[in-house]
Structure 1
């Protein structure tokens, strides 16, 4: 076995059905008495109901979390934090809400409780991506990692099938890149393969029966594993492209990851044969990139960046920006191949090996 380094991130995970009932208990463990509860505008009603578990521990709600964590939204939320003298933040929802909670914690070091209602997986990472002036910039810091995650399978039963699929493939992307990250190690690789397999099993079952509790639990468990992978090792080409596209064009986060992933995997395929074997095995497919495309498209996901709102002239611009400040990647970035990759994703074609 090769030498490796493994860093485990701290954090408390509560997993099951009905676990939202333990929210007040977890707030008390953190000594939180004046919590600020975060959500997107669309989830405000659901969050108001969940917040009742906190009783008098709620100082206020901020229902304006926004995709890609724009800094102007964070600035407004920080004013609310200061006005309410909040001593903790509770993020309820998907990656947008979790991102806002992380942005606040990065600036204040306030403790966080995250209650995921999607399969984003970002709740398990010390990574924050913020958007300013058309660019999404990521940073990693111990303050960003939430102290507590409460996974309640019951809260995912109403997640629409379309969002379940793209959210799940977004989580898969975390594990896929962990398999060939520069810091890859056997512990994370084991978790990554298990996370991919769990979501690959669960998503078709959820499509057939959104109320399948066993499948929902499997998907949520898989998303957690994938998030741990992302939080423990580095990112590569796929995440660089999605951060570039999200910052430049404000494309919907999970569908964008879903459309790009097969193409990024195809790009790296020859450079990472062992990772490709693990991905293929987890998917039950002969080809990692093709298996990812078939899984997502077979479940009805939109595979075209054009359909998600990307302009055609954005292909060249995105390739240029991705090349300007690249993440580490197992295969060096080549301008023509990268442009071809983005063009294929723009059109929604099956991945090609470039």
Structure 2
């Protein structure tokens, strides 16, 4: 990479839903990162995207890594390929932004994090809420001590409708796919967790979720090392819209991040007031997704440490595993942060 470049050329691997979101952002919303090249397992998809965005396209990840205009890569391919591609890039000395999760297997996740650390590349994982202006502002004030001692953390993450069965089958399960975001926010805003208790249910389609051994609704209770409590409620099928809201109650203040509306007005008629709701995460977080890529590009340019590391991704993964174990066993699970990931009952999660 030429240090004289004003922007960082990012090669994008994977052009599914998240890949398209990242492509749009790199092509139009980012100031430091720019779309340099696209790649997909389907060459026709890569070609179409390259023509649409006016950038080169390639058919293999190896070609993407070797492209002259690529300074770093963003991996938005299917989950099962994340670890392999990250390691391939690390061994080539190419910086990586990787969508979560790194892997659905803990041993593979640990091995990937270790490979990244050995290589010395910049490695950032896609937990987008850490880059949303509302969450960032609240986290900064909490960490500055303005909230005082945290007593209660409460957060909701609810999708409007459940994703297709094909996605669910490969998602890794409810807690790894959905709750993991709230678990990362909990660590970021409040601190390390010492106990996880989870309850789950299949409400929207009991037979379909029973067939894959999963749930569509859950409540997770956390105990933090600093004495605070946390409550997380999640749903894959709320029906009314997409919601992501958080409240943190402290000894000096309470911070609340509400789910924003599509438009900043309400329509009032006798006995009722209505307002539009966002329908999915893309509508809720357009600037967070752009900022996480721009923040990654700045880290590549300045050789600084990303806000979300591989170790952070591993910790959130371990807490999701603890929630899954709690739900399946019907008991609370004690955990201990071990510097890299969590341990439970004297063993790794």
TM-score (norm 2): 0.37
Task: State the structure with bigger RCO (CA 8 A, min sep 6), 1 or 2.
Answer: 2
Structure with the higher fraction of residues in helix conformation: 1
Structure with the higher fraction of residues in strand conformation: 2
TM-score (norm 1): 0.37
